[in-house]
Amino acid sequence: MMPSSPTKIDAWLMTGPGKPLERQTLTGGSPAGGELTVEVAGCGVCHTDLSFLRHGVKTRGELPLVLGHEVSGHVREVGEGVEPSLIGQPVVVPAVLPCGECELCRSGFRTICREQIMPGNDRHGGFASHVTIPARYVCPVGDDVLAEHELWELAVVSDAVSTPFQAVKRSELAQGELAVFIGVGGIGLHGVQIAAAAGARVVALDIDAGKLEQAGSAGAHAAVDVSGLSIKQIRKRVKEEAGRLGAPRHLWKIFETSGTRAGQETAFGLIGFGSRVAIVGFTMDRLELRLSNLMAFDATVGGNWGCDPVLYPELLRWIAEKKIRVRPFVERHPLATVNEVLDAADAGKLQKRAVLVPS
Ligand SMILES: [Zn+2]
Ligand SMILES: [Zn+2]
């Protein structure tokens, strides 16, 4: 293979907590064995980026670091051992790239692989013109998906869409069952679409009227504003909606996608016979629970961190088949405005998921 000239990477780096990201030109070497370099088409802005930058969560890689873990783009260069025909291929990069070989990976727990690489956390991520990552689980995007989507839009598949996809798959949600989403921001909103596409009766709960309206357009069959309601009142409302929608009284699948204490209390308060609670949002807060309810109701509580990369091809197929829509819920911003976009996201001013597009 011809030695290629070093790539000039236009990158935005986190240099310290609370500081604006700093623009730098990095010189990229060739990808190492088993890795490849993607020219970024889009990189989604996630709450996790704000957690690193402004809310005290430490990145695993050292600063300065390029943040961003929701990447789509074209493969431009491959390292040794990586199929050269991938060059030019449009891809989506899973937010969590497992090693594929350890005990956890072999047991199907790839998303919690201890050797995992997360771009924008373990190493430089996607707030840049290029990103170099392990090639193993990078997911090719077919012409069927690109017929209806632009590649930059698909960046959000890497986390905002795939994480609730994993949660719904794990819950074994069946046709006609009741799915309740608590908090319908980015993750919950896509969860609503996925559950509706799976044939469930979907109830969205939130305290934001705008988000509830969006949940309705994403396929929620009922949207309940829970502001000021007690857990008991919420439970009554959800029961009424379940009845109205002809959903079963039992076996509810409850998805906590708000990442708040109030949301988790609601999730636990909705547990009934045979319920499954999926904790998808994250908070450091604690709550007091009667765990015996799990025994009394034969209920289960689980969680998931990201999405297994092996589910990505199926997820992209759902998008190609228009079971899941991406375009109405994303907005495009130039990468050069990343600091302004982070400000807006932190202030809760974005109605849609922001995707940064390099110029
Ligand atoms: Zn994320
Ligand atoms: Zn592993």
Residue 108 CA: which ligand is closest?
2
CA of residue 46 to ligand 1 center, whole Å: 5
CA of residue 106 to ligand 2 center, whole Å: 7
Reply yes or no: is the peptide bond before residue 64 cis, omega within 30 of 0.
Answer: yes
The yes-or-no verdict on residue 5 having pLDDT over 70 is: no
Residue 134 CA: which ligand is closest?
2
The yes-or-no verdict on residue 241 having pLDDT over 60 is: yes
Res 348: pLDDT: 84
Confidence of residue 28 (pLDDT cuts 50, 70, 90): confident
The yes-or-no verdict on residue 251 having pLDDT over 50 is: yes
**Residue 291 and residue 271: Cα distance in Å, rounded?**
11
What's the rounded mean pLDDT across residues 59-66? 97
The yes-or-no verdict on residue 2 having pLDDT over 50 is: no
CA of residue 65 to ligand 2 center, whole Å: 23
The yes-or-no verdict on residue 321 having pLDDT over 80 is: yes
What's the rounded mean pLDDT across residues 3-16? 84
Q: Strands 70-78, 7-14: parallel, antiparallel or unpaired by DSSP?
A: unpaired
The yes-or-no verdict on residue 167 having pLDDT over 70 is: yes
User: In this predicted structure, which of 5-9, 82-86, 195-199, 274-278 has the lowest mean pLDDT?
Assistant: 5-9
What's the rounded mean pLDDT across residues 220-225? 98
The yes-or-no verdict on residue 44 having pLDDT over 90 is: yes
CA of residue 230 to ligand 2 center, whole Å: 43
178-182: strand order across its sheet: 222-225, 201-206, 178-182, 253-256, 276-279, 300-303
Res 26: pLDDT: 95
**Residue 308 and residue 98: Cα distance in Å, rounded?**
9
CA of residue 66 to ligand 2 center, whole Å: 24
CA of residue 62 to ligand 2 center, whole Å: 22
The yes-or-no verdict on residue 326 having pLDDT over 90 is: yes
**Which residue type, as a one-letter code, is found at position 62?**
E
Confidence of residue 4 (pLDDT cuts 50, 70, 90): low
**Residue 289 and residue 275: Cα distance in Å, rounded?**
16
**Residue 338 and residue 359: Cα distance in Å, rounded?**
12
Q: Strands 353-357, 35-44: parallel, antiparallel or unpaired by DSSP?
A: antiparallel
What's the whole-number average pLDDT of the chain?
95
Res 283: pLDDT: 87
The yes-or-no verdict on residue 1 having pLDDT over 60 is: no
What's the rounded mean pLDDT across residues 92-105? 96
pLDDT, tens digit (0-9, with 9 covering 90-100), for 264-315: 999 999 999 999 999 999 888 999 999 999 999 999 999 988 899 999 999 9
Residue 103 CA: which ligand is closest?
2
The yes-or-no verdict on residue 345 having pLDDT over 50 is: yes
Tell me phi and psi for residue 58, to 5 degrees.
-90, 140
Res 64: pLDDT: 98
CA of residue 329 to ligand 2 center, whole Å: 32
Between the alpha carbon of residue 83 and those of residues 40, 86, 89, 91, 315, the distances in Å are 19, 6, 11, 14, 23
**Which residue type, as a one-letter code, is found at position 222?**
A
CA of residue 274 to ligand 2 center, whole Å: 32
Query: ∠ CA 297-301-307 to the nearest 5 degrees?
Result: 150
Residue 162 CA: which ligand is closest?
1
Res 29: pLDDT: 83
Is the distance from CB of 307 to CB of 162 less than 8 angstroms?
yes
Res 7: pLDDT: 79
